[in-house]
Chain A
Amino acid sequence: MSLIQFIILAAVAIIWWRLYARLRSGELTWLEFVEWFALWLGVAVIVLVPEVASYLAAWVGVGRGSDLVVYLALLLVFYLLFKIFIRQEKLARQLTSVVRGLALKEASPPPAPSRGSKPEVRP
Chain B
Amino acid sequence: MKVFIIIPAYQESSSVGAVVAGVRSYAESVVVVDDGSTDGTGEAARAAGALVLRHMVNRGYGAALTTGTAYALAQGAEAVVHFDADGQFEPRDIPPLVSALSVGRPSAALGSRFLGRAVNLPWLRRLTLKLAVIFTWAVSGVRLSDAHNGLRAFTREALALMHWRQDRMAFSSEVIDELVRAKIPWTEVPVTVRYTAYSQQGSKQGKLPALKIVKDLFFGRLVK
A residues engaging B (CB < 8 A)?
Answer: 85-86, 89-90, 92-93, 95-96, 99-100, 102-104, 106-110, 112-116, 119-122
Contact = CB atoms under 8 A, between A and B. Distances in A.
Nearest to A102: B56
B76 A115 contact: yes
28 contacts: A86-B222, A89-B222, A92-B167, A96-B63, A99-B55, A100-B55, A100-B59, A100-B63, A100-B66, A100-B67, A100-B70, A102-B56, A103-B33, A103-B56, A104-B67, A106-B53, A110-B29, A110-B51, A113-B75, A113-B76, A114-B76, A119-B74, A119-B76, A120-B160, A121-B70, A122-B69, A122-B70, A122-B163
Given A85-B219, A95-B57, A96-B167, 7 more contacts: A99-B55, A103-B53, A103-B54, A103-B56, A104-B53, A116-B76, A119-B76
Contacts, number: 74
Given A110-B75, A119-B73, A122-B70, A89 B63 contact: no
B41 to A, nearest CB: 14
Contacts of B195: none
Contacts of A109: 75
Nearest to A87: B223
B220 interface: yes
A107 B73 contact: no
B76 A120 contact: no
Given A103-B54, A107-B51, A89 B67 contact: no
Given A93-B223, A122-B73, A103 B67 contact: yes
Interface of B: 29, 33, 51, 53-57, 59-60, 63, 66-67, 69-71, 73-76, 160, 163, 165, 167, 219-220, 222-223
Given A102-B56, A104-B74, A90 B223 contact: yes
B75 A103 contact: no
Q: Is the interface of B mostly helix, strand, loop or mixed?
A: mixed
Given A96-B59, A103-B54, A103-B55, A86 B74 contact: no
Nearest to A109: B75
Contacts of B220: 89
Contacts of B63: 96, 99-100
B78 to A, nearest CB: 10
B71 A99 contact: no
Given A93-B165, A96-B167, A103-B67, A121 B55 contact: no
A96 B36 CA distance: 12
